[in-house]
């Protein structure tokens, strides 16, 4: 903690080795970030991890991943319902999960979630509204279940920043427990629901690092029936039932830039993935291989690379294949270590 | 940073003096939190701070506060447009700012922002959509300007978690700069727009502490033309143009619980306000006096205490009076120190 008005007196920015203030380092400990190498291996197959999943959405998702041989989540950041539904139809056969931002659709109406649910059944994928809840418990409960979006009624997975403290997990759980209670009365089944905590972000200067990330880990592992995993840039939980999803994915234009053998057999894991690109507002990109093989995550989240492609379905398939090959390589690397 | 699977080895929870893991302490440094006392004094009047405001919404807000002798922001957490507009009409004469959650209105439509803007002109208050943006730059730009809410077109003030890094400030600024550019062409004036960073939260176990809060301070002070202030529990910036707004306010039922003389003249400032209550999902409440006099904040944000009152207008006036008396007491305490 720095006194008011002081500006990093006699303190270094660790990451950039500069004496200038750095937003990112401000969230880290005074010591250089010597985070221990996460032990990515041994690595289990998706299906072998199923029995360890205590959350319904985690189980449902791993089943889809296994059935479709796809660990690809499409981030459908488009601004009209026509674009969204067309994209979901094109991408559907290739993805395990469709990530949406309902609140950027200029013409949203109640038919959109219904149409997405129909497509999710037709093509066998789950829905993930990327709402990034970040308020106190009573407010997120209302935002999740109510409003015009009624997210709890259709989205299998949602995510939250744990910034407000554990009350946000409890608040989001309320509508789900209510649904569960009502279904017990009627004897019907309840669709899977799960929460991802945003333990790390892919953007430049993110404050979700160090002890912030650790606090997310503790909160998630304290409630494995409700939390299905993390948004992160590397595997952070040893719990086999927790799913690690990584945004900011782009296939490098020069595939040779990463030497497979060196990366897979390396004993020192860099604490952040190698970057393959950026945008003008701080987003940073990484390859599927770097995330799955080197950093042990499970699901790749791809947005603009697919949406801006001429043939979205073809580009989806290219990413599905790259993600699955990275997964198989990670299993082979794990076997080789035995 | 703690190794995977380890649980606070040989480490104490500082706050609760326990060896059990604690979500809140996880976000703090290993040392006990000995944050230096913020120098709340000398304190300037709202009007004397006007020349220091570089952001248009900060200026507009301080003018309203001064005109109406009200530092009260009403948090209008209701779920229908009829409730919202009735509340805005009742509270309007007593408040400087109306805080909304459009995404919990079950019957939201485009008439709501228009009606709120009309009420804001009629009763002289500003609008603050409590969206808590928390995504990467390109996404928040779309969420702020687009979707069904089109927040940038009507809300004078919005807020964000800086968790994603500085890109979130740049992303949110894009729609505002676009409005500004278009207005220059047409020669018209632009309504005030400003951003609050959520540097601290009032909920239990919040991770917005220590170096996270400091990083918010650095980002805000790096862009005072766009950032108008902070959501916080105490004054954190020395910049006179930055406005400190504090949620989680309730008047204590026993007014004698805080001894005025002791609190105002104390030389040691507790790092968190004294609590006057809680809810079942981790929210914690504080008195206006504790926030303004002891911790030097500027605007009190009151929600349930007013909404759940039988006579909302009367309760508003009670809080306005308490907030203004606390402000006058803080000025008197400042003068006494000269």
Q: What's the rounded Cα separation, in Å, for the pair B334 and B338? A: 7
B150 vs B251: which has the higher pLDDT: B150
Told to judge if A124 belongs to the known catalytic residues of this protein, a careful annotator would answer: no
Instruction: Give the pLDDT score at B135.
Output: 97
Q: Least CB-CB distance to A143: which of B35, B101, B149? A: B101
pLDDT number for residue A192: 97
Look at B138 and A281 and tell me if their CB atoms are within 8 Å.
yes
| Residue where the block lists tokens 């920015």 | A13
What number of H helices and E strands is found in chain A? Answer: 12, 10
Q: What is the pLDDT of residue B279?
A: 86
Measure the CA–CA gap between A200 and A212, rounded to whole angstroms.
9
Q: Two tokens at B129? A: 């959509």
Distance from C-alpha of B135 to C-alpha of B161, rounded to nearest angstrom: 8
Measure the CA–CA gap between A43 and A336, rounded to whole angstroms: 11
Residues A228-283: tens digit of each pLDDT: 999 999 999 999 999 999 999 999 654 444 444 333 333 344 566 778 788 888 88
Give the whole-angstrom CA distance, residue A178 versus residue A326. 40
The number of beta carbons lying within 10 Å of the beta carbon of residue B10 is: 5
Which of A105, A106, A165 has its CB closest to that of B282?
A165
> What whole-number distance in Å separates Cα of residue A171 and Cα of residue B109?
26
Q: What is the pLDDT of residue B2?
A: 36
ipTM metric: 0.87
Q: Do A104 and B147 touch (CB under 8 A)?
A: yes
User: CB count, 10 Å around CB of B75?
Assistant: 23
Give pTM, 2 decimals.
Answer: 0.88
Is A132 labeled as catalytic in the residue annotation?
yes
Residue A67 Cα, gap to closest chain B Cα (Å): 30
Render pLDDT for A5-58 as a digit per residue (tens, 0 to 9): 333 333 334 443 444 445 555 544 333 333 444 567 789 999 999 999 999 999
> Rounded CA gap, B223 and B281, in Å?
34
Q: Do B165 and A207 touch (CB under 8 A)?
A: yes
Is residue B130 within a helix (H) or strand (E), and if so which, with residue range?
Answer: strand B126-133
pLDDT at B8 over 60: no
DSSP H or E run through A230 = strand A227-231
Q: How many angstroms separate the CA of residue A152 from the nearest CA in chain B?
A: 13
Is B281 close to A138, i.e. CB distance below 8 A? yes
Could you read off the pLDDT of B83-102 as tens digits, one per residue?
Answer: 999 999 999 999 999 999 99
Strand A299-302, strand A243-246: pairing: parallel
Which stretches within chain A are classed as H helix?
Answer: 23-26, 46-49, 56-68, 81-91, 111-123, 137-145, 167-186, 210-221, 260-265, 288-289, 304-307, 312-337
Q: Do B203 and A236 touch (CB under 8 A)?
A: no
Q: What is the pLDDT of residue B5?
A: 32
* Closest chain B C-alpha to A314 CA, distance in angstroms: 25
The whole-number pLDDT of residue B159 equals: 98
DSSP A44: -
With a cut of 60, say whether residue B67 has pLDDT above it: yes
Helix, strand, or coil here: A107? coil
Residues of B assigned a catalytic role: 132, 135
CA-CA distance, B240 to B49, in Å (whole number)? 6
Spot the catalytic one: A132, A223, A240, A321: A132
Question: Which of B164, B201, B214 is closest, CB to CB, to A2?
Answer: B214
Length of chain A: 338
Q: What is the pLDDT of residues B235-267, one digit of tens each?
A: 999 999 999 999 999 986 544 444 443 333 333
* Beta-strand pair A284-285/A277-278: antiparallel
What pLDDT score was predicted for residue B280? Answer: 86
3-state SS class at A102: helix
pLDDT at residue A265, as a whole number = 35
Cβ-based neighbour number of residue A191 at 10 Å: 16
């Amino acid at each position: 903690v720095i006194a008011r008005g002081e500006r990093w007196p006699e303190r270094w920015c660790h990451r950039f080795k500069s004496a200038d203030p750095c937003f990112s380092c401000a969230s880290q400990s005074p010591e250089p970030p010597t985070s221990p190498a996460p032990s990515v291996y041994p690595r289990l197959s998706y299906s072998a991890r199923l029995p360890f999943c205590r959350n319904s959405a985690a189980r449902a998702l791993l089943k889809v991943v296994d059935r479709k041989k796809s660990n690809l989540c499409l981030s459908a950041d488009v601004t009209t319902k026509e674009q969204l539904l067309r994209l979901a139809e094109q991408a559907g056969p290739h993805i395990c999960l469709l990530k949406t931002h309902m609140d950027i659709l200029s013409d949203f109406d109640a038919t959109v979630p219904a149409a997405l649910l129909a497509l999710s059944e037709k093509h066998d994928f789950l829905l993930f509204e990327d709402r990034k809840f970040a308020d106190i418990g009573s407010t997120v409960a209302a935002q999740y279940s109510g409003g015009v979006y009624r997210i709890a009624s259709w989205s299998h997975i949602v995510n939250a920043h744990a910034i407000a403290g554990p009350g946000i997990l409890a608040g989001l759980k309320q509508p789900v427990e209510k649904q569960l209670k009502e279904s017990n009365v009627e004897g019907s089944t309840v669709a899977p629901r799960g929460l991802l905590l945003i333990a790390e972000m892919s953007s430049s200067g993110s404050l979700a690092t160090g002890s912030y990330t650790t606090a997310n880990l503790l909160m998630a592992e304290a409630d494995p029936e409700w939390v299905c995993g993390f948004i992160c840039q590397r595997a952070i939980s040893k719990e086999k039932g927790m799913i690690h999803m990584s945004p900011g994915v782009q296939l490098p234009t020069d595939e040779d830039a990463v030497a497979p053998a060196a990366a897979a057999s390396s004993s020192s894991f860099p604490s952040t993935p190698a970057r393959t690109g950026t945008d003008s507002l701080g987003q940073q990109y990484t390859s599927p291989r770097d995330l799955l093989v080197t950093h042990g995550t499970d699901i790749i989240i791809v947005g603009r690379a697919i949406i801006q492609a001429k043939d979205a379905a073809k580009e989806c398939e290219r990413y599905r294949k790259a993600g699955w090959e990275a997964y198989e390589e990670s299993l082979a690397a794990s076997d080789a270590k035995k």
